[in-house]
Structure 1
Amino acid sequence: MINHTGSFYAATANYTREFPTLTDNIECDVCIVGAGFSGLSSALHLAKKGFKVVVLESAKVGFGATGRNGGQIVNSYSRDVDVIEKRYDKKTSDALCSMIFEGGDIIRGLIEEFNIDCDHRQGGLFTAVNKKQFEGLKHHKANWERYGNKELTLLDKAELQTMVGTDVYEGGLLDMRGGHIHSLNLALGEAEAIIQMGGQIFEQSAVTRIEKGAKPVAHTSQGSVKAQYLVLAGNAYLGGLAPNISNKAIPCGTQVVTTEQLSDALCDELLPQRYCVEDCNYLLDYFRITGDNRMLFGGGVVYGARDPANVEKLIRPKMEKVFPQLKGVKLDFAWTGNFLLTYSRMPQFGSFADNIYYLQGYSGHGITCTHLAGKLLAEALTGHAERFDAFASLRHYAFPGGRHFQVPFTALGAAYYNLRDKLAI
């Protein structure tokens, strides 16, 4: 049996339901591989439209990035408005940019509709490490306002210090359409909603092979699911199940720690409004106060998804640089998890064999975009594919260097941009 990693999320999960293992040969309308946010959002939106859905998970609901991330509701994609408008034609860029805030709206709607207890708080901050980044935040604000976000406030250094108890930043941008959640509790709440609507979820049911055909079949070691449509939503944990899409992205690891529970007074000193924070560096740091008064702090990237030997050694110096108040504080949890990075940094949605769809490659912006992905998939399967097709039309590029050199080449590129951040150029 494959259980959750030893994360803060797993230790504080609200739900204890054990979903069964698939031990039979069954049929449904849509079979979804992966019970992370992509798969759960797809199942939810499809079930709402009357589809009979089955979700197959190789481990536990939320086992992968869904249950290991920073828990921040960050709008847009890993490439934002300025890049999208330069890179794609106007019709495509207009379509993509019109959806940059929808994922967060979907999450808030699901929390309210299904009364999901996941420590949801409104408000997210982007912080500038230098004056060049602060100028960038001015453009960021203007771009987002053009697409309808009127809940943005630019903050100078003094104003930001009333919200983040540190002097390491030059300023920031507050987005009240952002926020943060206990991500595993959100996923488990969504899973409960799927069951309520008649869907089925099977854990410890890894798909071993896919049989293409008029009705594709997902085979596990003890059973199978035949469906009208098959959806691959395993993202960085899909493995070798579909080499034609997995070779267009690389898994990357990110590291997170969570402190012991802190006093109310210390939390008020660190983040008095309890907004979540991410800085503007290429290799960014992100942090927030959890619902039970812990500092959750993450950052850094390990290309190729290798687990570092000592997560605390990597993250503690970053945390204590931002917050000297936390020097020597006990860390109760430290873990790592994989996300899927694409060369374009844009998500990869599409289909092959006419009835096999895939959703992957959120490049670090998965919480909001996965929820959008599920809604777009449900639209596509009910004859309204225009918005899904805006993503499906994007070309998927392989990383340079081939199978053996793509990881070192990508790491080299990241080191270059990290140096630019440090030199403020």
Structure 2
Amino acid sequence: MSAPYPPSWYAASAAPLPEQPVLEGAVEADVCILGAGYTGLTAALELAEAGYSVVVVEAQRVGWGASGRNGGQAIVGYGCEQETLERLLGPDEARLLFDYSREAMDRLRGRIARHGIECDWRDGHAHVPIKPRQERALRAGIIEMAGRYDYPLEWWDRARLRQELASDRYLGAMYDSASGHLHPLEYCLGLARAALAAGVRIYEQSPVVELVHGAKPVLRTARGQATGEFAVLAGNAWLRGIAPELESRVMPVGTYIAATAPLGEEAARALIRNDMAVADVNWALDYFRLSRDHRLLFGGRASYSSYPPPNLCGVMRRRIRKVFPQLADVPIDYLWGGYVDISLNRAPHWGRMGNNVYYAQGFSGHGVATTGLAGRLVAEAIAGQSRRLDVFAKIPHAPFPGGRLLRMPLLVAAMAWYRLRDALW
């Protein structure tokens, strides 16, 4: 019997996937993939449909990491601003990457439809400002995205937002009808079912302890090994010693989500009438949406140390009350967290090590749609068409300063400054 998923509303409400076998002995395939989250499973599905034999090796259960615990918000773009990509790559390739992110959203919807994945997809996402400087930045961003990226966004003033959102906390909204939200674990399990049906072999409860480079890379576990012509590292925040040169360029960051008790359909719809997802634009942001059983799912309170915040339940209740004072007496039924991986510049870190080991990481809290893009581009590169992945590989990525011992304390100190800025400016 395998270890259970960490307790969450997602785990409690998802239709379970039958347990997959532990990797024992030696197996071979054209491609061996570490990690059964969105990136690894999308790459596996794309490769299997192209005729490759594929093995996926997962340390826990399918979707056990960020793919099964995240906020569920699927947003066009990346974890960094477009101006960061312009600075790093120039305007033409920054525009190309943005267009790829639009493709990622289209393919996400298409994958859900084609494979019949029941994951509660809902259209619509709003970024909401709390302070005037944030409102000015969002308004300028709408003009920028329309003029330079041909991407239409709507500005809602406070009165228009109040028609959809029962909160007085925000000054308006930048509304994106092309983005949306879903049940993250059900989406991941749906990808796994599609991959299994396409012939992918998935091994669970099989932590990889070593990557052996060579003409045929090997993923070794305590009880077996998988050998392929190619390997894909899709462990993100959970690589844990497998590839130190990659791990130094991402940092695991804890993020937390609360699910209230069911509010009832009428009360839930009164909170968010159009069922959109919402996120503020603070550095330490809040994000929230409704569940299919009419709970409020409310996330935030990121932790940049390896420990959850003290009195996390009390912290989350206070944050919910700031947005929705009318929920002051509603209990929290579920509270969970997990790690996402951030890069130093918040840009995606995708590419290749040598000739036959591919990786994708650094989704920086923006991975629900872009992980699928990463999986597809890795599959394209393995099939001999690396042009699109090569654009991402051009993005320079520095390691986090401080080395293994000091990089986390330095990040905690930096994040304290950003939280102070959110509060005072």
Q: Would you say the 8 A contact 2:104–2:370 is kept in 1?
A: yes
Matched residue type, 1:148: D
Cα distance, 1:127–1:411 mapped onto 2, change above 3 Å: same
Map 1:203-222 onto structure 2 (within 5 A): 203-222=204-223
Aligned position for 1:89: 90
Matches of 2:121 and 2:306 in 1, distance apart? 29
Q: Secondary structure at the match of 1:101?
A: helix
Structure 2: 5+ residue stretches without partners: none
Q: Would you say the 8 A contact 1:274–1:288 is kept in 2?
A: yes
Structure 1: 5+ residue stretches without partners: none
Q: Would you say the 8 A contact 2:305–2:412 is kept in 1?
A: no
Matches of 2:355 and 2:17 in 1, distance apart? 37
Aligned position for 2:268: 267
Q: Would you say the 8 A contact 2:89–2:394 is kept in 1?
A: no
Q: Secondary structure at the match of 1:98?
A: helix
Matches of 1:375 and 1:58 in 2, distance apart? 22
Aligned position for 1:143: 144
Q: Would you say the 8 A contact 1:59–1:204 is kept in 2?
A: yes
Q: Would you say the 8 A contact 2:38–2:67 is kept in 1?
A: yes
Matches of 1:283 and 1:67 in 2, distance apart? 21
Q: Secondary structure at the match of 1:22?
A: coil
- Report the CA distance between 1:309 and its aligned residue: 4.6
Aligned position for 2:52: 51
TM-score, length basis structure 1: 0.96
Deviates more, 1:17-26 or 1:182-191: 17-26
Matched residue type, 1:420: R
Matches of 2:142 and 2:15 in 1, distance apart? 36
Cα deviation 1:154-199 (Å, max 9, x = unaligned): 1001111111100000000111111110000000000000011111
Q: Would you say the 8 A contact 1:305–1:338 is kept in 2?
A: no
Map 1:27-46 onto structure 2 (within 5 A): 27-46=28-47
Matches of 2:54 and 2:62 in 1, distance apart? 15
> Are 1:166 and 2:167 counterparts?
yes
Matches of 1:197 and 1:238 in 2, distance apart? 26
> Are 1:191 and 2:192 counterparts?
yes
TM-score, length basis structure 2: 0.96
Q: Would you say how many aligned residue pairs link Structure 1 and Structure 2?
A: 423
Q: Would you say the 8 A contact 2:250–2:341 is kept in 1?
A: yes
Matches of 1:307 and 1:47 in 2, distance apart? 39
Matches of 1:210 and 1:75 in 2, distance apart? 33
Matches of 2:404 and 2:26 in 1, distance apart? 36
* Structure 1 moving runs of 4+ over 6 Å: none
- Report the CA distance between 1:311 and its aligned residue: 2.6
Aligned position for 1:156: 157
Aligned position for 1:394: 395
Aligned position for 1:367: 368
Matches of 2:348 and 2:412 in 1, distance apart? 20
Q: Would you say the 8 A contact 1:36–1:233 is kept in 2?
A: yes
Matched residue type, 1:182: H
Matches of 2:410 and 2:369 in 1, distance apart? 29
Q: Secondary structure at the match of 2:165?
A: coil
Cα deviation 1:219-275 (Å, max 9, x = unaligned): 112211110100010000111111111111111100111011111221122101110
- Report the CA distance between 1:99 and its aligned residue: 1.6
